[in-house]
Amino acid sequence: MKRRKFIGTSTAATMGLLTFQNAAAGDTIIPQNKIRKGNINHSVCYWCYDSIPLDTFLQNLNTLGIKAIDLVGPGDWPLLKKYNIHASMCWGAELGLTEGWNDTKNHPALIKNYTGMIPKVADAGYTNLICFSGNRNKMTDEQGLQNCVDGLEQVLSLAEKHGVVLHMELLNSKVDHKDHMCDHTTWGVELCRRLGTDHFKLLY
């Protein structure tokens, strides 16, 4: 890429970021180009901007042409539908980042939560639902893997029935999620292999 083209592209990207930040904060924005092809589908994660009222946030997503939002629970889905914003990654069944499927003591609560949430996700017209491994707590990778398999297998048939995909997020245990078990691709891919279903995937 030539320098002049690079500078032009970088400037446009920077202006786009500033426009989004201003829009998310509730400032009035004037789109420079109201004609959109609709062939690029963006989503944003609401928790990064949760100081902004969701209603205001969704209005500005519409203005910017952003079609989806991540990590919004069922209590807010009616508001998403009001603004025709898709929930690209649902949540609300997990126990948290540190208590997950790798610990069998969490299985009864998780199975109950996901059994209740999976049909809700499908009924709302959504597909993706997040889940977490939990922290190691001195557990071996192998034990954590097997525990996850034993627990997740009890809800995946329901997910398959309703067309819902569970996504386990990989988190960085060396930076801001100390001791998290699902912290590298090799472990996550092995879990996918053992579960053997298209209704379980990894989230990066």
Q: Identify the structural domains of the chain with CATH numbers, from first to last.
A: 41-203 (3.20.20.150)
Neighbouring-strand partners of residue 128: 165
Alpha-carbon dihedral 75, 80, 57, 97, rounded to 10 degrees? 50
What is the reported pLDDT for 177? 76
What is the reported pLDDT for 34? 56
| pLDDT bracket for residue 150 (50, 70, 90) | very high
Give the span between the Cα atoms of 173 and 54, in whole angstroms: 30
Which residue would you say has higher pLDDT here, 61 or 18?
A: 61
Find the DSSP H helices in the chain: 3-24, 54-64, 77-82, 107-123, 141-162, 185-195
| pLDDT bracket for residue 95 (50, 70, 90) | confident
CB 180 within 8 A of CB 135: yes
In this structure, what token pair is assigned to residue 144?
A: 């954590």
Give the span between the Cα atoms of 129 and 93, in whole angstroms: 8
Residue 180 CB neighbours (<10 A)? 23
CB neighbour burial string for 88-126, b if at least 16 within 10 angstroms, e if fewer: bbbbbbbbeebbbbbbeebbeebbebbeebbebbbeeeb
CB 18 within 8 A of CB 8: no
What is the reported pLDDT for 42? 85
Query: If you average pLDDT over residues 139-166, what whole number do you get?
Result: 98
Neighbouring-strand partners of residue 36: none
Which position has the token pair 């952003």? 66
| Contact partners, residue 149, CB within 8 Å, separation at least 6 | 191, 194, 195
Q: In whole numbers, what is the pLDDT of the chain averaged over residues?
A: 85
Is pLDDT at 173 greater than 80 in this prediction?
no
Query: If you average pLDDT over residues 99-110, what whole number do you get?
Result: 97
Give the span between the Cα atoms of 159 and 46, in whole angstroms: 25
| pLDDT bracket for residue 16 (50, 70, 90) | very low
Which position has the token pair 């990654």? 89
Is pLDDT at 7 greater than 70 in this prediction?
no
